[in-house]
Amino acid sequence: MQIWVVVEGDDHGLRESSREVLTAATTVAGGVLAAAVVLAPDKENLVQEVMEFGPQTIYLHEEGSPSVTGEDYAEFLGELIERERPGLVLAAETQFGKGLLSRTALQYRMPIFPDCLGISQGPESLLFERLWYGERVSALLTSAAERPVLATWREGIVNVKKCPGLNSTVQKVRPQVQTLNLTRFLEEVKADPLTVDLSEAEVIVAGGGGMGSAAGFQLIQELAELIGAAVGGSRVARDNGWIPLKRQIGQTGKTVAPRLIISCGISGATQHTFGMRDAKKIIAINKDKNAPIFKIADAGIVGDVHEVLPELIKRIKEGKQNARPVGA
Q: Using CB under 8 A, which residues numbered 235 to 264 contact another protein? A: 255, 259-260, 262
Phi and psi for 316 in degrees, rounded to 5? Answer: -65, -40
17 vs 80, beta carbon nearer another protein: 17
* 316 is a contact residue toward another protein (CB under 8 A): yes
Among the residue ranges 25-33, 35-43, 55-63, 103-111, the one whose residues contact another protein (CB under 8 A):
103-111
Q: How far apart are CA 144 and CA 125, in angstroms?
A: 8
* 328 is a contact residue toward another protein (CB under 8 A): no
- DSSP H/E element including 53: none
Interface with another protein in residues 137-156 (CB under 8 A): 137-145, 156
* 300 is a contact residue toward another protein (CB under 8 A): yes
Nearest to 264 by CA among 280, 288, 228, 244: 288
* 191 is a contact residue toward another protein (CB under 8 A): yes
Residue of 1, 117, 166, 173 that binds another protein (CB under 8 A): 117
**One character per residue 20-59, x = contact with another protein (rule: CB under 8 A):** ----------------------------------------
* 288 is a contact residue toward another protein (CB under 8 A): no
Residue of 176, 183, 213, 321 that binds another protein (CB under 8 A): 183
Least distance CB 249 / another protein (angstroms): 11
Least distance CB 235 / another protein (angstroms): 13
* 18 is a contact residue toward another protein (CB under 8 A): no
Please enumerate, as own/partner, the contacts of 234-239 that have beta carbons within 8 Å and a separation of 24 or more. Answer: 234/206, 234/207, 234/208, 234/209, 234/266, 234/269, 234/272, 235/271, 235/272, 236/208, 236/209, 237/207, 237/208, 237/209, 237/211
Q: 215 CB contacts (<8 Å, ≥6 apart)? A: none
SS3 258: coil
- Strand 169-172 to strand 55-60: parallel, antiparallel, or no bridges (unpaired)? parallel
Q: How far apart are CA 208 and CA 273, in angstroms?
A: 12
Q: 232 CB contacts (<8 Å, ≥6 apart)? A: 198, 201, 204, 205, 206, 207, 243, 247, 248, 249, 254, 256, 261
Among the residue ranges 26-34, 77-85, 93-101, 235-243, the one whose residues contact another protein (CB under 8 A):
93-101
Least distance CB 174 / another protein (angstroms): 27
Residue of 84, 202, 222, 225 that binds another protein (CB under 8 A): 202
